[in-house]
Amino acid sequence: MSLVDDILIRPMVAEDEDLINEFFDAMGGEARAFFNRFGGNQKNTLHFVKNPEENRRYWMAELDGKMAGYVFLWDLHTSIPWLGIAVREDLKGKRLGRRLIAHAQSYVRDTGKGGIQLTTHLANIRGQVLYETMGFQRMGIHGASGEFYYLWRFED
């Protein structure tokens, strides 16, 4: 059994605020640039855990009392919600990203959605490899952001 197999994936709750802040404070420069520009995802995550919404789900990967990573879906009122994911620096490359995306994909299947969409920075090669490994297809460039747009479609 690997280290990643020992990680618990669970819904985030308001009591996780300190774990969330510690996770984002430890985020490396590349992750900040690709995922947490201007602190946006940190602010959104803290807002959600304090004010849960029906249109969003946030799950934390927890290891040894620390946040190892997380995945979220938003716009759940649509048939193809948006996905976001981040993994702690020292756990990158250990398949935690795969586990987190598989968790979100299972949720999408179980709730009758049609797929998942996401965008990623053109320079986020590691992310692109992960998404394509998990069955996402690069569909093109997303709007004015100039980020790659990916789509994963759930098919029986």
Residue 46 or 2, more confident: 46
pLDDT (tens digit, 9 = 90+) per residue, 117-132?
999 989 899 999 999 9
User: Does 143 score more than 80 pLDDT?
Assistant: no
pTM above 0.85, yes or no: yes
- The per-residue DSSP string of 89-138 comes to GGGTTTTHHHHHHHHHHHHHHHTT--EEEEEE-TT-HHHHHHHHHTT-EE
The end-to-end CA distance of the chain, in Å, is: 30
Q: What is the pLDDT of residue 2?
A: 65
Could you tell me how many helices (H) and strands (E) the chain has, helices first? 5, 7
User: Does 82 score more than 60 pLDDT?
Assistant: yes
pLDDT (tens digit, 9 = 90+) per residue, 16-55?
999 999 999 999 888 888 888 888 999 999 999 999 999 9
CATH superfamily of 3-114: Gcn5-related N-acetyltransferase (GNAT) (3.40.630.30)
Question: Worst-scoring range by mean pLDDT, 8-12, 35-39, 71-75, 126-130?
Answer: 35-39
Q: How far apart are CA 96 and CA 2, in angstroms?
A: 10
Q: What is the pLDDT of residue 33?
A: 83
Contact partners, residue 92, CB within 8 Å, separation at least 6: 126
Range 105-124 average pLDDT: 95
Range 63-68 average pLDDT: 94
Q: Where are the domains of the chain?
A: 3-114
Contact partners, residue 25, CB within 8 Å, separation at least 6: none
Contact partners, residue 78, CB within 8 Å, separation at least 6: none
